[in-house]
Amino acid sequence: MQYRTLGDTGIPVSALALGTMNFGRIGRTTQDDADAIVGAALDAGVNLIDTADAYSAGQAEEMLGTALSGRRDDVVLSTKAGLPMDRSGLRQGASRRWLTIALENSLRRLGVDHVDLLKVHRWDPATSDEETLSALTDLQRAGKIRYFGSSTFPAHRIVSAQWAAREHRLSRYTVEEPSYSILQRGAERDVLPVTEQHGMGVMVWSPLASGWLSGAVREGREIATHRSQFMTARFDVSLPHNRARMDAVEKLVPIAEAAGLSMIQLALGFVTAHPAVSAALIGPRTVDHLTDQLAAADTVLPAEVLDAIDEVVAPGLDLAAHEKNDAPPALLDPSLRRRR
């Protein structure tokens, strides 16, 4: 396993981090499965584990807490808050009120008295940076979190938050969690340069592009998904962006084969090659999936392979930008870009 420092925190973390979104109802992963996955990951040298309150409505945190029993101090434990937990509008966002409640709920579900890292799951345009950073700083000073960060923030919001922390003499975001893969390279344009400039650690999500880079998705092959209703549109090759992804996959396969690598090794080796990236989050549903992904733990892609990838998907290009969940609100709501 390779290890890197998480930004300028000084914490050494494994280049592959365990994500737990599939624990519970979302991935139909049982407690026994979770126990086996966490145990195998730790035994393989993984020391960074990430979860979120929104994963199966808290079930993933509960299962992870059980799986970590007796081994809490062996990991850097990260969770997230901010996505809606119900339809009330009160159990979401980045206000002081909700972040305080959400963290207490997460600590209870995880069975711990603190987490090492709490990330705001998405930028909340209704809440000021000062409000959010002040709340997180207080939670840090209370010993309930060691560090805090952001997830899927646009680059300008990362910069805004860094400025606000300095302006108001508050602690700052030390980690960002963006979407990044061979098929989604937009983070290279602005997010990754900004995180490097501010000494932030980077944990990338969906490095296998929702399974497109797993090796199981090929031209003419039936695609089976465990979340069919949720995922079907992501693999409908009649859609132009999916057609572009399939074409790219078919060009990437011979690159991987020529290098003696699996598609998973190619994909994970690509994201961990970027100097801004601290860790790639893998989200196995089974121990077999974990084993396949851990095979990339020591993968280092040579320059010629990285050059070949650049020829297939240009640096900075997203093949499905709408799936990254980082679009500014004005791009989604026409009223926000029209003078009244």
pLDDT value of position 235:
87
Kindly state the tokens that stand for 265: 């090794």
pLDDT value of position 326:
86
* Partner residues linked to 49 by β-bridges: 18, 77
pLDDT value of position 257:
98
| pLDDT tens, the chain, 340 aa long | 999 999 999 999 999 999 999 999 999 999 999 999 999 999 999 999 999 999 999 999 999 999 999 999 999 999 999 999 999 999 999 999 999 999 999 999 999 999 999 999 999 999 999 999 999 999 999 999 999 999 999 999 999 999 999 999 999 999 999 999 999 999 999 999 999 999 999 999 999 999 999 999 898 887 766 554 556 778 888 899 999 999 999 999 999 999 999 999 999 999 999 999 999 999 999 999 999 999 999 999 999 999 999 999 999 999 998 888 888 888 878 898 998 8
pLDDT value of position 228:
43
Conformation bin of residue 211: beta by default, left when phi > 0, alpha when psi is -120 to 50: left
pLDDT value of position 160:
97
Query: Which of the residues 55, 147, 173, 180 is marked catalytic?
Result: 55
pLDDT value of position 43:
97
pLDDT value of position 322:
87
User: Where are the chain's structural domains?
Assistant: 3-337
pLDDT value of position 177:
98
Alpha carbon distance 13, 2 (integer Å): 8
Say whether 55 is catalytic. Answer: yes
CATH architecture group of domain 3-337: Alpha-Beta Barrel (3.20)
pLDDT value of position 231:
67
pLDDT value of position 164:
98
